[in-house]
Amino acid sequence: MGRSPCCEQVHTNKGAWTREEDDRLIAHIQAHGEGCWRSLPKAAGLLRCGKSCRLRWMNYLRPDLKRGNFTEEEDELIVSLHALLGNKWSVIAARLPGRTDNDIKNYWNSHIKRKLVGKGLDPRTHLPLKTGRLQLEEEGQSSTDEGGGGGDLDLSISLRLPRAASVNSANWPTTSASPEVVPLPPPPAAPCGPTICFCYHLGFRSDEACSCRTSQSSHSHGYCG
């Protein structure tokens, strides 16, 4: 098919952005909005590809970005969301106002991953390391894999919010009640059926995020229906 390159490689800069390039990009976006990234570099007088401009703006120049260390609350929230969503960094970032997917991804890889391993947890599955089952998973059998593949057990797990009301962002353990918080996709319209609500309490504190507490244990399984 011959995908065209995202930019004319010959005429674009690469590598670290200069102060001047940043200023040009900021000035252009403040004047014209984010608009079409492909045409932006030319319009802004930048020798960069649109992709690079977008990345620079999203990850570094946006005025609403929060700089500095992650708080303990953010840390816990990332772990919780990762347990539910996996490496959906953009979705996780949407729950953390002022943080970018790149930030979170980097923070995950440099801090949290190590922290979980230190606690004896598999950072991918959030389950204890080196059980027989996990041994299988490490060889390519993930517990979240689509139903498929071998073995006597159907290992697929259905995750859903325990109650429709939980879609409301107020029920999520966000660090602030920012209106920018993006709710997770709503559950199907059908009433909550026999699907297991697998509430794996990682990082959530009491009365937050989920109310179907059928067990006092820290790793409880609730049931919708």
Interacting residues with DNA (CB under 7 A): 1, 3-4, 6, 13-17, 36-38, 50-52, 54-56, 59-60, 87-91, 101-103, 105-107, 109-111, 114
Q: Phi and psi at residue 197, in whole multiples of 5°? A: -90, 105
Beta carbon nearer to DNA, 110 or 206: 110
Please, what is the minimum distance in Å from the beta carbon of residue 204 to DNA?
A: 21
Closest to 108 (Cα-Cα) out of 143, 218, 96: 96
**In Å, how far from its chain's centre is CA 109?**
13
Beta carbon nearer to DNA, 110 or 216: 110
**C-alpha span between 196 and 210 (Å, rounded):** 14
Beta carbon nearer to DNA, 54 or 163: 54
Beta carbon nearer to DNA, 5 or 150: 5
Beta carbon nearer to DNA, 87 or 215: 87
The answer to whether the CB of 160 falls within 8 A of the CB of 84 is: no
Please, what is the minimum distance in Å from the beta carbon of residue 152 to DNA?
A: 29
The torsion of the CA quartet 54, 98, 167, 146, rounded to 10 degrees, works out to 50
Q: Phi and psi at residue 168, in whole multiples of 5°? A: -55, 130
The answer to whether the CB of 129 falls within 8 A of the CB of 117 is: yes
Please, what is the minimum distance in Å from the beta carbon of residue 61 to DNA?
A: 8
Please, what is the minimum distance in Å from the beta carbon of residue 190 to DNA?
A: 21
Provide the residue type at 209 as one letter. A
Please, what is the minimum distance in Å from the beta carbon of residue 197 to DNA?
A: 23
Beta carbon nearer to DNA, 43 or 170: 43
**Bridge partners for 128 per DSSP:** 121
Please, what is the minimum distance in Å from the beta carbon of residue 215 to DNA?
A: 31
**C-alpha span between 197 and 161 (Å, rounded):** 7
Place of tokens 């004319």: 8
